[in-house]
Chains A and B, each alone.
Chain A
Amino acid sequence: MGDWLRQAWTVARKDLLLEFRTRTAIVSAVVFTALVLTVFNFGRDPTAVATIDLAPTILWVTFTFAAMLAMNRAFQLELENDALEGLLASPLSRTSLYWGKLLANLVFVAVVEVVGLPLFVLFFDVPVAPVLLPLIAVIALATVGFVAVGTLFSALVIRTRFAELLLVVILLPFLLPPLIGAVQVTARLLGGRPLSESAGWLRLLAAYDIAFVTLATLLFPFTVDE
């Protein structure tokens, strides 16, 4: 255990330090989140549609889109001076590299979500306080799955033309199951229903996480080795 995880953390810490230095990606993603939330507010008829009905969808569409922005940068930043080549030539294992990127992406997306959630509550006046803990658990559960897939796919597209656009197109079908699940559970939570009512969805989210984290870990070496 210890060793490969330590190496993964070394990579993740470096990514986060780089992000902290430049701040372009994180600031863009946070501003993007705020903008999308604003757009949603004006993109509905407040007299016809109750906020609470639309709120879960707004929250998740915002989070997934912001996450996709984040994913693009994971391997993009390794192209500068071909640092990726250096990583692959070093004793760093492919698994550690993938997990390092995954950890950094998770932290990145978590930051966006931490800023996004209060904004969401503020803009749409959604009562999250009573269900805050289960809601955070659901957000974490759904985020892990799609970030795992997104991290893998961002390694597939870095050397292609229109990488940003292509990533969105190949990633979206994969985001649909966790997105649908997360929206359903969130809707039930905000509607004051107990978590047990969403057991089926929670199982789906958990199964998705396990399946795709495992699959991505196994497949990642094939995306970087020549």
Chain B
Amino acid sequence: MLSAEGLRHAFGGGRGEGGGGRIVALDDVTFTLEAGQTLAIFGPNGAGKTTLLKVLAGLIRPDAGRATVAGGRGAIGWIGHQSHLYGHLTVRENLLFWAALYNVPAATRAQRAADVMQRLGIAEHAERAVWALSRGLAQRAAIAKALIHEPRVLLLDEPFTGLDLAAAAEFRTLLAQLRGAGRVVVLATHNVGEGVELATDVAFQRRGRFVQFAPRGGRGPAQIADEYRRALGEAGG
């Protein structure tokens, strides 16, 4: 359903001779996820997590390797640092616009938007302009935007950043509902242990490489954090 084969990518400098000053963001990353799997990627800032998600989303063409998502761009829902919402449009207008872009049939768009707002508890804010929403509501609107086309693949880049404890807990509950059910979820965060309980698989990324990639098994946040320190320590500080 989602596969990455030998992904390599670097930023800065040229592609030709030399290439010394380049920052390696992806280094031979290979994995496959089937429907129902949730992958949590942990790694320090600059490990290449965002690059990986962007490659999966088709936003960056990798220097080498191939990423394939069944259903292409239209099957992906993206929740990143930015909400992708237009501040001067209302929540509903934003959702209708993105629904149209994702080829949701015109007849069902209004119903779909209403459903998704209901689900995220922002139905009463439907007619408010996005700029006027509080941070938590805006985050929910952003999630609504990502879900409007019922994506089969969810890519989450540091989704807990900027959420207060209550909102984060709420979001975790939502994610718990979304994962499984024929969906693939990829979650990347620098905060080790965050969202671990949702994951079926765990990967540690460092300098573009997957230093560990394994099913979670029964491991909890504390154990994962412990292994993370060890894995990254072993890989040479």
Could you tell me which A residues sit within 8 Å of B by CB distance?
Answer: 7, 10-11, 14, 17-18, 21-22, 77, 80-83, 85-92, 225-226
Docked complex: B75-123 residues within 8 A CB-CB of A: 76, 78, 80-89, 93, 97-98, 100-103
CA distance in complex: A27, B57 (Å): 38
- Given the known interface contacts A17-B93, A81-B86, the answer about A88 and B59 at a Cβ–Cβ threshold of 8 Å is yes
State whether B98 touches A18 (Cβ < 8 A): no
Q: Which 10 A-B pairs have the closest CB atoms?
A: A86-B84, A82-B82, A91-B74, A21-B88, A91-B73, A226-B60, A81-B83, A10-B100, A90-B101, A89-B57
Find chain A residues with CB under 8 A from B59 CB: 85, 88-89, 226
State whether B86 touches A91 (Cβ < 8 A): no
State whether B97 touches A226 (Cβ < 8 A): no
- Given the known interface contacts A14-B86, A17-B89, A83-B85, the answer about A89 and B101 at a Cβ–Cβ threshold of 8 Å is no
State whether A86 touches B98 (Cβ < 8 A): yes
CA distance in complex: A14, B103 (Å): 15
CA distance in complex: A80, B72 (Å): 26
CA distance in complex: A77, B85 (Å): 11
10 contacts between A and B (CB under 8 A): A14-B86, A14-B89, A17-B89, A21-B129, A80-B87, A81-B82, A81-B130, A82-B84, A85-B59, A90-B102
Instruction: Tell me which of B60, B78, B86, B145 contacts A77 (CB under 8 A).
Output: B86
State whether A7 touches B101 (Cβ < 8 A): yes
Could you tell me which B residues sit within 8 Å of A by CB distance?
Answer: 54, 57-61, 72-74, 76, 78, 80-89, 93, 97-98, 100-103, 129-130, 145
State whether B80 touches A85 (Cβ < 8 A): yes
CA distance in complex: A226, B63 (Å): 11
State whether A89 touches B73 (Cβ < 8 A): yes
Instruction: Tell me which of A10, A22, A89, A225 contacts B88 (CB under 8 A).
Output: A22
State whether B93 touches A81 (Cβ < 8 A): no
Kindly report which residue of chain B lies nearest to residue A14, judged by CB atoms. B97
Find chain A residues with CB under 8 A from B145 CB: 86
Find chain B residues with CB under 8 A from A77 CB: 86
State whether A10 touches B61 (Cβ < 8 A): no
- Given the known interface contacts A21-B89, A80-B87, A226-B61, the answer about A87 and B101 at a Cβ–Cβ threshold of 8 Å is yes
- Given the known interface contacts A86-B78, A226-B60, the answer about A18 and B88 at a Cβ–Cβ threshold of 8 Å is yes
Minimum distance in angstroms from B102 CB to a CB of chain A: 6
State whether A18 touches B101 (Cβ < 8 A): no
State whether A81 touches B89 (Cβ < 8 A): no
Minimum distance in angstroms from A160 CB to a CB of chain B: 17
Minimum distance in angstroms from A5 CB to a CB of chain B: 13
Minimum distance in angstroms from A225 CB to a CB of chain B: 7
CA distance in complex: A83, B54 (Å): 15
Given known contacts A18-B89, A91-B102, what 6 new A-B pairs fall within 8 Å (CB)?
A80-B87, A81-B84, A85-B84, A90-B98, A91-B103, A226-B61
Find chain A residues with CB under 8 A from B85 CB: 81, 83
